[in-house]
Amino acid sequence: MFVLRMSRPDDVDALVQLGHKAGPGLTTLKPDPDAQGARLQRVQRTIAGSAELPEQGYLFVLEDTTSGKVVGVCGIEVAVGLDQAFWTYRMDTFVHASRELGLWTRMDKLHMSHGLTGYSELCTLFLDPDYRVNGNGSLLSKARFMFIGQFRERFAERICAEMRGYFDDNGESPFWKALGAHFYRIDFHEADRLVALGKKSFLAELMPRYPVYIDFLPQDARDCIGKVHKETEPARRLLEVEGLRLEQHVDIFEGGPVLEARIDDLRVMRDSGLCQVEIVAEAAADAPRQLVANGELADFRVILAAANVVDGVVHLTAEQARALQVKAGDRVRVMLQNPAK
């Protein structure tokens, strides 16, 4: 069985190993023990209530309960952009018209923006490729929404998610080559590394001062705007099912989509509910797959379980209850894995 749980300080080595597998473009999961250790300590301060709002964040890991191996990671930042600006490109459409000639054109532009300041952010989603089976990716992504539903007061009015942008077969970003490389004059991976280390001042110092006309970019770069990395396509679909959408913002480096939503409009706020646990010998053959979360903060846990819900009671097996560290009579949050049709 796999369980998503709150991260602990001793997860450093596991995060470093996942960072080696993640490759370029996932800024917050670099294989750097010091950076990952500092982040895990930040999570502990957030839980303890000693972290100021700009540094508050949560990190969760997906663990194989049989082997104890950590095979995935995901996170939530509480309020981005308060300490250092959260830069994106905002897409706008302008109409240029000539009354004398009777002509008009519609042009799309990119503006440097920090309009997402104060949003909560879904981040750092990565699942070991060897474990991308049996709904593990769905559990890893959607479990964060269960945490938000359980602790709604800890988050902002709106939420966003930066998706890893498109890279070609050579591991290069056409969007970066066409735009960012001309302004920042450093390699993509070096720019990515600096951002991962929190050294973001160069973004403001070297960014384009004026809007960028999308039509002036090469076709391969234009095709990247709002497009995700091939390994990120399933993650995007999962977030869209939960209520997030591409609105106006894309990543400044690769042009990947930034999905957005009001938290109160997310599916978890509408479709999840609290149920009392009843222990059963085995799950019913026709039991639907449910996300089930305990109500703990420091040891928050979520599993994907075949479980029936009857009159506010959820039927869990002893193994499922152990994974959640709950017992009969405890209250848990439950939501169908996928929306009811």
Residues β-bridged to residue 92:
109
- Is the Cα torsion angle 65, 66, 70, 74 positive or negative in sign? negative
Question: ∠ at Cα 212 (206, 213), nearest 5°?
Answer: 165
Quote the distance between the C-alpha of residue 57 and its chain's center.
Answer: 12
Question: Quick check: is 20 catalytic?
Answer: no
Q: Which of 174, 198, 196, 176 is nearest to 187 (CA)?
A: 176
Alpha carbon distance 36, 126 (integer Å): 14
Backbone angles phi, psi at 339, to 5 degrees: -60, 145
- Is the Cα torsion angle 39, 43, 46, 50 positive or negative in sign? negative
Alpha carbon distance 308, 284 (integer Å): 7
Q: Which residue among 182, 229, 249, 315 is the active-site one?
A: 229
Secondary-structure breakdown of the chain: helix, strand, coil percentages, each rounded to the nearest 5:
35, 30, 35
- Spatial contact of 89 and 251, defined as CB atoms under 8 Å apart: yes
Cβ partners under 8 Å of residue 130, min gap 6? 71
Give the active site residues: 229
